[in-house]
Amino acid sequence: MNNMTRTQHHSQNIPLNRTNINIEVDSIPFYVSIAWGWFLFFIPTIIMFIKMYTTHFRIDNNLIIESQGLINKTYKTVDLYRIKNISATYSPVWTGGVLKFELQGNESVTLDLVANPQDVLSNIRQLSLDAKKHQNMTILDY
């Protein structure tokens, strides 16, 4: 018993931290990872905003023209008299309103981010019929 008390007494006399240095957990990487996660979370939103902001539509004479891009501009054109069929869909998640044009020569052109594609659809059909009349096309030419 005497030996046991001596050991207990001896371990109580040795300080566990002899240099008074405290090592703590750094919380800054946690906050950085939260900020980085939010930034990565918003990357698709930023891309969609830039795409939306830089997309423009124009109807010029017998053409529908879509221009898109901030640095690398891309252009899509649809000849109104070449339209065989138009379809419209709407998906609020990524593409918004989509107009798909089937053209003569088995070509197709898709325009994304169109507001109210169902409303635009009937107007473009009428413009297409007018353009075909202007080109003196018959029903067999469609």
> What is the CB-side half-sphere exposure of residue 130 using CA atoms within 13 A?
9
What does the pLDDT read at residue 58? 93
What is the C-alpha separation between 97 and 110, in angstroms, rounded?
10
Structural fold of domain 55-141: PH-domain like (2.30.29)
What does the pLDDT read at residue 141? 57
SS (H, E, C) 27-59: CHHHHHHHHHHHHHHHHHHHHHHHHHHCCEEEE
What is the C-alpha separation between 124 and 22, in angstroms, rounded?
74
List, in order, residues 6 or more apart from 57 with CB less than 8 Å away.
64, 65, 66, 111, 114
Q: 106-129 pLDDT, tens per residue?
A: 899 999 888 888 888 889 999 998
Q: What is the pTM of this model?
A: 0.67
Question: What type of residue sits at position 109?
Answer: V
Domain locations in the chain as residue ranges: 55-141
Q: 22-73 pLDDT, tens per residue?
A: 777 888 888 888 888 888 888 888 888 888 899 999 998 889 999 998 888 9
Q: Which stretches does DSSP call E strand in the chain? A: 56-60, 63-68, 74-79, 83-91, 96-103, 107-111
